[in-house]
Amino acid sequence: MHPRRECDADVAGRNLRRGVKNPDAHLADNQRCGAEESAQIPNPSMHEIRRRGENISAWEIETVVNQHPAVLESAAYAVPSELGEDEVKIAVVLAPGAKLRPEDLIEFCRDRMAYYAVPRFIEFIDELPKTGTHRIQYAALKAQGVAGAWDREQAGIKVERTRTPS
């Protein structure tokens, strides 16, 4: 954890005005105080995925996937797309003794998230790589690429926008 310091920070989603010092502001692990004592976020979009013109929150994907009874935890992240921008990959740790087919997870996601956020790649792993403070190491996951991951498009599963009658 970072020591408490006075600086401009984003506290509970509210940006403090520049120049206003808040001694109760805590910095997140990915923030630091700069030379001018203002909060700096090195990569604010670290967990954002840009797929075919849509911004996707990795946190929202993980929240849905983690609701599946067979899933212990997951990590959603961007992998390069052959079309440019990103594709969505999710690494999934199953609950002890649980079994889950990738197709079943896609079906679960299809009903609970936007069509463009449904992961293309799924990889089942024994455990997520984590730091000493138990934070997921997304860079280590990204470095693995898509080798060995199940590919929804290669399996012939299409997820399309469902139109509601007006």
For the stretch 65-120, pLDDT in tens is: 999 999 999 999 988 888 778 888 999 999 999 999 999 999 999 989 988 889 99
Q: Report CA-CA distances (Å) from 85 to 51, 108, 146, 150.
A: 6, 25, 15, 20
pTM higher than 0.75 for the full model? no
**CATH entry 3.30.300.30 includes domain 48-151:** yes
| Domain boundaries along the sequence of the chain | 1-44, 48-151
Percentage of the chain beyond pLDDT 70 is 66
